[in-house]
Structure 1
Amino acid sequence: MSVSAYRQARLEGQDVVRTAVLDAAKRLLVEDGPAALTVRSIAAAAGCSTKVIYTLFGGKEGLGEALWTEGFARFERRLRGIPQHDDPLVVLRAGIEAYRDYALAEPEFYRVMFMGALPAYRPGPQAARAAKRTFDILVDGVRAGMEAGVLRGPGAGEIADVLWMGIHGAVSLEISCYFEGDVAAQRYRLLCSSLLAPFLTTDERTTS
């Protein structure tokens, strides 16, 4: 981020400065790896002083926490932005698509959140709660399907676990460039249908 961009962020308020610093940090993480995430290097990339980093985040550890929580905050906003629908399966499938959309739009944050991009970082209670809120959205979506009689299975949490395991694997491969473009999208849709199929009720299988 250029100095002029940082100065513009200052004019717009502390939240914008915070976002600008986090964006600079995630770029460094992708380009140079976790060893590059020093307070000095992040300040240089963001075009600000090291004092700004310490004031906003308390240092490197606080910055790791902020990257994690910011990633999940953006993820949660995307999931909660899914339009409501009378059919819970429509909403659930939209949520599964939104998972992939988020990973492709914010691959740096996704790597921090789900792929161990910060090996030394261990989420604190606030960060863990941020992560759980997003998973609870998936659990709630599955539960809504079970209550509507279109899904069946051992329990909403277990089904959500299976769905997450599958879609995370697919998305991780895609952002690591093992699958790309239309092929990746087609394979993802096929995977999602396969993951849901064992849990659909008989009536729903005939209409899906």
Structure 2
Amino acid sequence: MNTIYQDALQRGQESARAAVLDCAIGLLIADGPAALTMRRVATEIGASTKVLYTMFGAKEGLADALYREGFARLRRAQERTPFTTDPLARLNDLGAAYRQHALAEPAYYRVMFEQAIPGYRPNAESLASAETAFDASVAAVETCIATGVFRPGDPHEISKLLWAAAHGAVSLELAGHFPPDTAARRFAALMAAVGQAFLADDHQPDGGPTA
């Protein structure tokens, strides 16, 4: 009988790498940071430690791969969000997709944002790679500005502020502070309130000036 790694390897190197990362994130969440060792992961998937060292270099490389994988999955989730010609609806849809992805991938969310791996700190290259997960959001903000829905401003800065709001609400939900029957409503209300701060005057709900 083939091991998990051997089965994955038959589908290609990318599948083999994904199998390692899936195993590693599972161990991290199930058994804690102490379980995240090259030897333990190798044993679980049925590969040699040499295979893992070749892939990632060392445990730090494995941690970095998990961090990058989390943001890569988020980027794909954003890119899969159905496109709409309404720029504000597009931005809201991307925010909702962020929340849905975080709830679907809480283990990766912890690695990305909650320092689930003690001692790991993403380097400048990894942080830059993480930024690309929000390219769709920046583009949506740019469209809101170009079409006059938002006042002129820095689309990257606006996107980051929207991200900060989304992240705060999602983190509270994952921690159990926002129960399921209120979480979605609170998330939508928060995002609407933050987005209103950037609306052009003629797009304000009451037609009045922006505060």
Taking structure 1 as the reference length, the TM-score comes to: 0.89
**For residue 88 of structure 1, what is the aligned residue in structure 2?**
87
**For residue 194 of structure 1, what is the aligned residue in structure 2?**
193
**For residue 111 of structure 2, what is the aligned residue in structure 1?**
112
Deviation at 1:175, TM superposition (A): 1.5
**For residue 181 of structure 1, what is the aligned residue in structure 2?**
180
Measured in 2, the distance between the counterparts of 1:18 and 1:57 equals: 10
**For residue 139 of structure 1, what is the aligned residue in structure 2?**
138
User: Structure 1: 5+ residue runs without aligned partners?
Assistant: none
**For residue 42 of structure 2, what is the aligned residue in structure 1?**
43
Aligned length: 206
Deviation at 1:204, TM superposition (A): 2.5
Q: Deviations over 1:4-31 (max 9, x none)?
A: 4333212212211111110111111112
Measured in 2, the distance between the counterparts of 1:153 and 1:147 equals: 8
User: Structure 2: 5+ residue runs without aligned partners?
Assistant: 207-211
Measured in 2, the distance between the counterparts of 1:157 and 1:129 equals: 13
Question: C-alpha root-mean-square deviation of aligned residues, in Å?
Answer: 2.0
Q: 1:103 to 1:198 in 2, by over 3 A?
A: same
1:82 aligns to what SS in structure 2? Answer: coil
Deviation at 1:95, TM superposition (A): 0.7
The structure in which a higher percent of residues are helix is 1
Deviation at 1:169, TM superposition (A): 0.8
2:204 aligns to what SS in structure 1? Answer: helix
Moved more, 40-49 or 20-29: 40-49
Measured in 1, the distance between the counterparts of 2:32 and 2:142 equals: 39
Taking structure 2 as the reference length, the TM-score comes to: 0.88
Measured in 1, the distance between the counterparts of 2:126 and 2:72 equals: 10
CA contact (8 A) 2:28 2:35 kept: yes
Q: Deviations over 1:143-165 (max 9, x none)?
A: 21111101126432332222111
Deviation at 1:37, TM superposition (A): 1.0
Moved more, 133-142 or 99-108: 133-142
**For residue 33 of structure 2, what is the aligned residue in structure 1?**
34
CA contact (8 A) 2:83 2:90 kept: yes
Q: Deviations over 1:32-91 (max 9, x none)?
A: 222221111111232322122112111211101111111111111111122222211111
Deviation at 1:135, TM superposition (A): 3.0
Q: 1:175 to 1:47 in 2, by over 3 A?
A: farther
**For residue 169 of structure 1, what is the aligned residue in structure 2?**
168
Identity of aligned residues (%): 45
1:199 aligns to what SS in structure 2? Answer: coil
CA contact (8 A) 1:76 1:134 kept: yes
Deviation at 1:125, TM superposition (A): 4.1
Q: Deviations over 1:106-141 (max 9, x none)?
A: 111111112211231122344222211123432222
Measured in 2, the distance between the counterparts of 1:85 and 1:203 equals: 22
Asked if 1:76 corresponds to 2:78, the answer is no
1:12 aligns to what SS in structure 2? Answer: coil
Q: 1:158 to 1:129 in 2, by over 3 A?
A: closer
Measured in 1, the distance between the counterparts of 2:30 and 2:2 equals: 20
Amino acid paired to 1:160: S
